[in-house]
Chains A and B, each alone.
Chain A
Amino acid sequence: MASLKALKIRIGSVKSTQKITKAMKMVAAAKLRRAQEAAEAGRPYAQRLEGVVASLASKVTVSESSPKLLAGTGKDDVHLLIIATSDKGLAGAFNTNIARLARRHAQELLAQGKTVKIYTIGRKGRAVLNRQFPKNIIHSIEPGDLGKLSFADARGYADDLIARFEAGEFDVATLFYSTFKSVLAQEPTAQQIIPVAIPQAGAEAETAGIAAVTYEPDEESILADLLPSNVAIQLFRAMRENAASEQGSKMTAMDNATRNAGDLIKRLNTLYNRQRQAAITTELVEIISGAEAL
């Protein structure tokens, strides 16, 4: 049995924890709104670019000379997993879910005898994967606050990735991030970004609708220009989605924590009152029996 004093201290500490989780929830809610708007504002660009790349790609015949970002290296041996998570924890299962999907993917690839390389963006993803695949991690980036990332940052990561690709470090790159569906639902997603995955059926339907399009300069040059941008855009979009997902996940987690703390306080309070009453009763009994003895 804890003493009355100990119980009181315990209640105090749970109360201050609850204050913190409540504040974190508020902060997450405010940040979520901004991140969600940003994620949604970024979608039109990414979608249009995807459409353009798809329609261009369907016009250009893939050959030896076509850009590697489109055609690939012709091999499928070395896979790069780009794992985008956040730098901070306390966001429920957000980081764990992404890491789990990536881990499963990595295990499948290893079972097929492929070489797996891991490129992490975000400290939390690195921490999880470092335990299981310490030798496979080739590079790690710590982006800091996801909500503050600009397109220039994403461009920098993309340039680094493309340089590695050109140097022949890997054949296929897959990006892992969490798509923001709603505040309560975030879905870990895997997306192949190098070489560009081309939605065949959609591309044909689209090109059929467009009459003879004039290209300035020619298709190949535009494509060569667009493909690196496309990698940057996909990365940027993933970051934005991640930022929104992180805040959503954090908000839910902190809401749960606040509620749990509330329950705990209620239980501790009941316990405290019961003990206090017991102490008073004992004291009374002592006084009365003392008076009777006289």
Chain B
Amino acid sequence: MSLHFELVTPEKLLRSEEVYMVVVPGSEGDFGVLEGHAPLMSTIRDGNLEIYKAGATTPETIRIEGGFAEVNEKGLTVLAEKAG
């Protein structure tokens, strides 16, 4: 019952962990990704990425700029040009 989430910047792999849900600032609107999400590819706008760990009620936010998000059967990968 968890989503594999990876946050990668050109500098390094920032996160690679199991989380409950991630809210991504897509260029056409925010979207939340849970486990078993349909395959999706979206560009992202500058904004905050919200990461909900299992059981946690308040999300951890990471500011990201430019890039895109990809959801496939392996999980969610966010390729951001700048993060943190």
Say whether A and B bind each other: yes
Residues of A in contact with B (beta carbons under 8 Å apart): 38, 41-42, 44-46, 48-49, 52, 56, 150-151, 154-155, 209-217, 221-222, 225-226, 229, 232-233, 236
Minimal beta-carbon separation of A216 from chain B (angstroms): 4
Q: Is the CB of A41 within 8 A of B70?
A: no
Is B56 interfacial (CB 8 A cutoff)? no
Q: Which residues from chain B contact A232 at a C-beta distance below 8 Å?
A: 10
Q: Is the CB of A213 within 8 A of B11?
A: no
Q: Which residues from chain A contact B42 at a C-beta distance below 8 Å?
A: 215-216, 222
Q: Give A236 to B10 CA distance when docked, in angstroms.
A: 8
Q: What are some 8 contacts across the A-B interface (CB < 8 A)?
A: A42-B10, A45-B8, A45-B79, A48-B77, A210-B72, A217-B27, A226-B68, A233-B10
Chain B interface residue count, CB cutoff 8 Å, equals 25
Q: Which residues from chain B contact A236 at a C-beta distance below 8 Å?
A: 10
Q: Give A225 to B41 CA distance when docked, in angstroms.
A: 13
Q: Give A209 to B73 CA distance when docked, in angstroms.
A: 9
Q: Is the CB of A225 within 8 A of B43?
A: yes
Minimal beta-carbon separation of B12 from chain A (angstroms): 3
Q: Give A45 to B70 CA distance when docked, in angstroms.
A: 13
Q: Is the CB of A38 within 8 A of B11?
A: yes
Per-residue 0/1 for B9-25: is the Cβ within 8 Å of any A Cβ (1 yes, 0 no)? 11111000000000000
Contact of B68 among A42, A151, A212, A222 (CB under 8 A): A222
Q: Give A87 to B35 CA distance when docked, in angstroms.
A: 48
Q: Give A52 to B68 CA distance when docked, in angstroms.
A: 10
Q: Is the CB of B27 within 8 A of A45?
A: no
Q: Is the CB of A49 within 8 A of B79?
A: yes
Q: Is the CB of A216 within 8 A of B13?
A: no
Q: Is the CB of B10 within 8 A of A151?
A: yes
Minimal beta-carbon separation of B35 from chain A (angstroms): 16
